Structures are given as structure tokens and as C-alpha cells.
Structure 1
Amino acid sequence: MKAEIIAVGTELLLGQILNTNAQYLAQACADLGVGVYYQTVVGDNTERLTNALQTAKSRADLIICTGGLGPTQDDLTKDALAASLGRQIVMHQPSMDKIEEMFRTRGVHMVESNRRQALMLENSDPLANDNGLAVGVALTQDGTSYILLPGPPKEMKPMFERYAAAWISSKMNQAQPLFSRMLKFAGIGESSLEHELLDLIERQSDPTIAPYAKEGEVAIRLTTRAATQAEADLKLDPVEREIRGRLGQHIYAAEDVTLEQEIVRILSGRKLLLAAAESCTGGLFSDMITSVPGSSAVYRGGIVCYTNELKHKLLGVPMDVLEGPDAPGAVSSETARQLAEQMREQAGSDYAVSITGVAGPDSSEGKPVGLVYVGVARKQGDTVVERLQLSGNRASIKWRAAKSALYQLWKLLRTE
């Protein structure tokens, strides 16, 4: 099944909001075994929306629209599709009853335009909106299936997951289920990973091998169709073994989790404690760790010692290490080592991470932008310091430094 996603809304074209709906739907369709071949963004204009629907019909079996189901005059998606297919617009009474009950409960007068949210195309399937008022629509005509979803992600995602996904699957009952595995990598860039796996990627057929990249980490999705999980495993296992044989030192998970989630899981399972001393990252490492539910059981806390004064005052780094003509400086392996060791001592933790460097935009201490030192002090074992030369702007360097610190910590955890 080939799909096209049409995101409706002039605010998308103006760049006022990000089109996160298309990203979500593309991933969700891939999980269902539906290939998204095109993505379109169109403004709140009936003629242009109708043209977009006609174009999509010429090249897709499934068209998913998001947005334009609200109560105002510029919410045109249902009207445009009805006109395109020659269908009438009718009232979905259960949705209308819900809207009226909501206004009655709140003691607020309902303006007539709110009735538009309960309208749908005749002879179509309603998709319940458990988090809003606009009913969704699903229908098939002349071999093409259409799904209309609301624009707000808090409404769109639950509607898709609870109702639309099952409706799509019912249209694909002749196809075998799709089975996938996600291998997550750290400490290696997308181009290097592709280079190591290029021969596998070039000759892929079944299973397919799809690389994905985000800032600081990359992933490989292995996908196949099979009648059963056991049959899928017979296809996926050899490919995963081959990849692990080449790049196993960089694989931190065989599921779609972040590196910080995996680190918290390891620390929690071993009942170990962590702390951090950050300079150039300004608390970003700590934020990544504490964004993980359950991190309070393993994370003692951190210090953002941005200035030399605080590096000395709070963590006891000698001033003759930080400053002076012959001093290593704040951006040095010596400082990273002392920050990590002093932080571990003060926190009473099993591990402490330190990050010090030059995030830019200008050099510091005569050292180039992107030079970063990451230290990891251990209760059992020597302190490890890694020198990095990162590229990018200030925000990218900070992000990559924090991700690199996570990777250095994970490397030690997996070998101990």
C-alpha cells in the first residue's frame, strides 16, 4: 500500500508551527507496513486543497489528511474531500451530542459554528475523538482510501493509534504482518556506520535495512514481512548477527530507547549512583539524565561550574591548573579529571562525569571551538578522560558534547 500524507494549514506554510504530524504519521505507517511515498503541505484554500487531493489520488492508495476539521470557516478539509468525491456532508449525531453536552456542562453558550466539528462525509466510518471535539473520517472510494484526522497532535495521535491504524490494517488483510527491530548506536556517525554496512545495505532485499540519524546517535531498522514472529526471527537474526559482528561495540540497545534511558536502566539494575560536573554544556547532560523517569533513584545531582572561580571554589580545582601562563587551563584533561574526581567524592557516587570545553562562537584560552574534554571518575577504577574535537555551531557542540559524555559513560558501564 502506497500512502501520501497531506498536512492542511496555512500556519504550516508560514512556518508558525512545525509539521510534527507528518513525522509521526510516516513512522506509524512504516510500522503498519505502509510505504509513505509523498508528503504534501497545503494552506487553508479549497481550490488548492482539492488539487492536492486529486494529485494524491493519482499516485497513492491511501491518503491521510491532518488538520482542517475544526469549527471555523477556514477548516475546509471535509468540504474539499466531499466535493472531490461527489459526496454529501452529513451530521454524526453521537459527536454532536458530545459537543452539546460539553458546552452544557461548562455552562457556556455554543455558537453555531461548533456544529461543523460533528460533520462527516456520507457513508463513511467515523473515527472517535477521545481528546477533542472534531470527529475523524475514514472511507474508501474507487480503490483509494482516505483518512481525515484533526490537526492538534494531542487529538491526532490517539485517534490514529486507537482507531485509524486498525482501519488501515483491515484494508491490508491480504498482506503479511510487518516485523521490525531497531538497533541503536552511539559513538559513531551516520556516514561511518553506512560505510561499515554499505555492502549489506546495497544488496538488501528482505529484510530491509534502513538507517536513521539524529543528533548524537544513529539507528538501523531491520524490517521483514512474515506469517509469524518465529518466521520473522529466522530472517532477522542472521542480519542482526552480521551487524553486531561489525559494530557491536557501538550498539547500546536493540529497541527504540535513548542512550540516557539505557544508562539509567543499567545504573538502576546495578544499584549504582551518578553525578556530574558541567562547564560548557551548562547542565545539558544533567537534563538528559533527569528527563528519564526513575532517574532520581540513580542520579545524585550535578554542578554547573561555568567559571574558573566556581571550578575552584565548589570543586577544588587549583587555580594554578586553571589560570597562568604555564597552566593547562580550564579546557584541559587535567581539569576534566579533577572535576570528575572531586564531583564523585562530594556526591558520594559510584560514577561522576565531567565536561569542559569551548562551545563557541569564539576560541578560549587560545584553544579552538569544539575542543572538549570528557572525564569519567569511578569508585572502582581509574578516571578516564577523552579528548574530543567537535564540529558545528554552539548549540550543536553542546549537544554533541553531552551525548559524547553519555557514550563514554556507557562504554565503561558495559565493560564492568
Structure 2
Amino acid sequence: MTAEIVSVGTELLLGQIVDTHAPVMARILAECGIGCTRRTTIGDNWDRLVSALKEALERADVLITIGGLGPTVDDLTRDAIAAALGDELEKVPEMEAKLREFFSSRNIRWTESIARQAEKPTSARLIDNPNGTAPGLLCEKNGKIVIGLPGPKGEFDPMAYGPVKDYLETIQGAGVIHSRTLRIIGMGESHVEERVRALMDAENPTVAPYAHTGEVHLRITARAATREDADRMLDPLEDEIRRALGHHLYGTDETTLEAAVIAMLKERGETIAVAESMTGGELAARLTAVPGASAAVVGGAVAYSVAAKQAALGVDSALLASAGPVSGEVAEAMALGAQRAFGSTYALAITGNAGPTADAGDRPIGLTFIALATPNGVTVQEQRYRGLREDIRRRATQQALATLRQALL
């Protein structure tokens, strides 16, 4: 059984909002053993939307639409589903009464356009929406299934994870498609593939690498009758990959690098402080975003200017003048200053030039110095990153966390 997803809304095509719902729906389909073969985004245009729905119904067994179920004239999905299926729209009196009661209880003036949300294609039944006014749609006709979901996240998520997933689990009868993500640091995508290449030729379970900023992910996927059966297939595969990649594999699924580092610090009863210039607090933000981080993170300083490096971290003015603020010597002094100021076991410092223009001196865009102060001294590394400003900053914090993790190992 195959499925396609059609996301509806001109705002998606204009880039005003990012479609986060389609990936969620694709994962739900996979968990129900239904392969998502295509995702399409269509603006609020009647002809293009109806055409896209008809084409999807020719290819797929299940069609999921997201968005366009509201009351306004540009909410076309309900009507387009009816047209694609050859249905008429019919009013559901009970739904209209429910809507009238809802708006009356909130002293909101009723307009006839609101009643559009009480309409459905003749082959459809309504899916209750306790978090909004537009119900979902579930159509079964000519061996095809069409499910219409609302666009707002607070309405989409409960409906998709609730009644829609429950329904999909009853129709497929072909098991589940279950994936696990293995997260790797300190090794490029090509080197990861080199070590696990022999495992990538299997059809079930499968192994697929994909790169992220500063790390590599391996997605391992199994198709099986149940989630438990899939896990039994993935467990030995993960063990084999762990043996191949060693300490480079730092976590699975939603585990972030900062979470892995915080867990190691807490286990050892040790602490970390940060001193940031170029990254402007991004490293501290990543660390403190981890629940329970207060047990390991003691503090930090964003010393962006030369004066701040002197005042907050005690960096010597003569050193700043001779070596320059973007230098290994200053990074070392910043790390030692943070370690001293906050009384931490470790301290990370980052200074560099993230662009978009080169420094007045000879410090090119991407030049970065990362220092780690430990109980046994300080290490400093020089990095040269390419990319946009936000990419350089992200890579710097990623490398800083990787450096700390390596020291903890």
C-alpha cells in the first residue's frame, strides 16, 4: 500500500512558513507500514489543486491532504477533494449546530462562511477536531482513501497522531516500517560510508547515511510485522555499526551532542563553563537547552568586544594588542578566565570571524580558535570554516562540544 501527501497553501510556496507537517505524516505512514512515495505542495489555486489530487489518486492507495479546511474563500481543499472523487458536498446539520454553539458561547458573530466547515464530500465522514473548528475528513471510495487534515499545528498533531494513525493501523495489514537514527561525530560522511558500506546493500533492514552540519546520521530501517519485530532486526545491526564506528557514534534518535556531553559530565560529577565571542552565546544556549543541565553547567560569558574580554575574563590588554582578539593565545586566555571565574572543571572558549566581511587585520572569514581548559591544562585548535555566518557559528559550537566530549572520553 502506498500513499502521497499534498500540502496546501500559497504561504508554503512563498516560503513564509515551513512545512513541518508533511515529514510528521510521512513518519506516521511509515510506522503504519504504508510507504510514502511522493510529497507535493500546491498553492491556493483551484485548477492546480484538483489536478494534483486526481493525479495522486491515480498513483497511490492513500492520499493525505494538509491544510485548506478553514472557512475562507482560499480554503479550497474540502471542495477539491469532492471534485477529485466525483462527489458532491453535503451539509452535516449536527456539525453546523456544533459550530453555531461554539461561536455563540464566545460571543463571536456568525457568518455564513463559517458554515462551510460543516460540509463534507458525500463519501466522507468527519474526524472530530477538539482543538479547532474545522473537522478532518476521511473518504473511502473506489478502493481509494483520502484523509484531509487541518493546517494549524495544535489541530494537526492531535488528529494525525490520534484518530488518523489509529485508522491507518487498521487498514494496512502489512506490518510497520520502523527507523532508528544513529548520530556520528568526528567523521565525514564518506568515511562513515566506507566503514559500513557492506551493510548498505541489504534490502531489509536498510542503512542510509546523510550529512548534517558538523555530524553524520545513519538511518537504519526495518520492515516487519510489528514494532517489536522491527526492533529485533535493528538491534544486531546497530551493534555491528557501533563496532565499526567506535566512539564516533555518540547517540541515537533525538539525542543531541550537547545532551550526550551533559550526560557524561553529570555521570562524572564535573562541570563546564563557557566563554564566547564569535558565537555570541550559542554554545551556552545549546548546553542549557538540555533538561537537567544545571547540574553540569555553572555559567558563561559572552565577551564580544575587546573591553569585555578584559573585564569579564581577565584577558590581558597587552595580549589582546599583540596577538589580536581572534587568536589562539586569546582563546586560551578566555578559557582559563572562564574556568577561574566560574570555578568549573572545564571551560570552553570560542573566538573567530564569522563574516560576512573579513576583519580589519589579517583574520579571514571562517578563521576560528577553540580552547578547552581542563584540570590538566589547556588545548587550543585552529579551524577554518566555510559557509554563511550562521553555518560558521554552528560548526564552531559543534566542534567545541566534540572537543569536550573527546576529552571526557
The TM-score, its normalising length taken from structure 1, stands at: 0.91
Q: Which residue of 1 aligns with 2:367?
A: 371
Q: Percent identity?
A: 41
Q: Which residue of 2 aligns with 1:4?
A: 4
Q: Is the 8 A contact 1:336 1:373 kept in 2?
A: yes
Q: Which residue of 1 aligns with 2:299?
A: 301
State the 1:268 CA deviation: 3.7
Distance 2:59 2:46 in 1: 20
Deviation string for 1:90-141 (max 9, x for gaps)?
3445543443333222222221211222322234342222321110012222
Distance 2:279 2:351 in 1: 8
One of 238, 244, 247 as aligned partner of 2:245: 247
Q: Which residue of 1 aligns with 2:182?
A: 183
1:15-414 map, 5 Å? 15-92=15-92, 95-173=95-173, 175-201=174-200, 203-227=201-225, 231-324=229-322, 327=323, 329-364=324-359, 365-378=361-374, 380-413=375-408
Q: Is the 8 A contact 1:183 1:256 kept in 2?
A: no
State the 1:351 CA deviation: 2.2
Structure 1 residues 87 and 64, CA gap change in structure 2 (3 angstroms): same
Question: SS state of the match for residue 377, structure 2?
Answer: coil
State the 1:387 CA deviation: 2.3
State the 1:261 CA deviation: 2.4
Structure 1 residues 130 and 408, CA gap change in structure 2 (3 angstroms): farther
The letter for the 2-side match of 1:198 is R
Deviates more, 1:59-68 or 1:385-394: 385-394
The letter for the 1-side match of 2:192 is L
Distance 2:82 2:45 in 1: 14
Structure 1 residues 373 and 44, CA gap change in structure 2 (3 angstroms): same
Q: Which runs of 5+ in 1 are unaligned?
A: none
Distance 2:267 2:376 in 1: 20
Q: Is the 8 A contact 1:61 1:143 kept in 2?
A: yes
Question: SS state of the match for residue 80, structure 1?
Answer: helix
Question: SS state of the match for residue 383, structure 1?
Answer: strand
Question: SS state of the match for residue 335, structure 1?
Answer: helix
Q: Is the 8 A contact 1:277 1:352 kept in 2?
A: yes
Deviation string for 1:167-217 (max 9, x for gaps)?
1111112x123333221122333344334333432x121111132433233
Distance 1:21 1:255 in 2: 19
Structure 1 residues 36 and 129, CA gap change in structure 2 (3 angstroms): same
State the 1:321 CA deviation: 2.1
Q: Which runs of 4+ in 1 moved over 4 A?
A: 92-95, 228-231
Distance 2:231 2:144 in 1: 33
Distance 2:407 2:96 in 1: 59
Distance 1:95 1:341 in 2: 67
The letter for the 2-side match of 1:331 is V
State the 1:34 CA deviation: 2.7
Distance 1:100 1:268 in 2: 55
Deviates more, 1:65-74 or 1:340-349: 340-349
Distance 1:10 1:269 in 2: 49
Question: SS state of the match for residue 90, structure 1?
Answer: strand
Q: Is the 8 A contact 1:211 1:221 kept in 2?
A: yes
State the 1:15 CA deviation: 2.6
The letter for the 2-side match of 1:251 is L
The letter for the 2-side match of 1:377 is A
Q: Which runs of 5+ in 2 are unaligned?
A: none
Question: SS state of the match for residue 323, structure 1?
Answer: helix
Q: Is the 8 A contact 2:8 2:68 kept in 1?
A: yes
Distance 2:108 2:156 in 1: 25
Distance 2:31 2:377 in 1: 44
Distance 1:195 1:94 in 2: 61
Distance 1:229 1:39 in 2: 25
The letter for the 2-side match of 1:248 is G
The letter for the 1-side match of 2:16 is Q
State the 1:244 CA deviation: 1.5
Question: SS state of the match for residue 102, structure 2?
Answer: helix
Q: Is the 8 A contact 1:119 1:135 kept in 2?
A: no
Structure 1 residues 231 and 50, CA gap change in structure 2 (3 angstroms): closer
The letter for the 2-side match of 1:367 is R
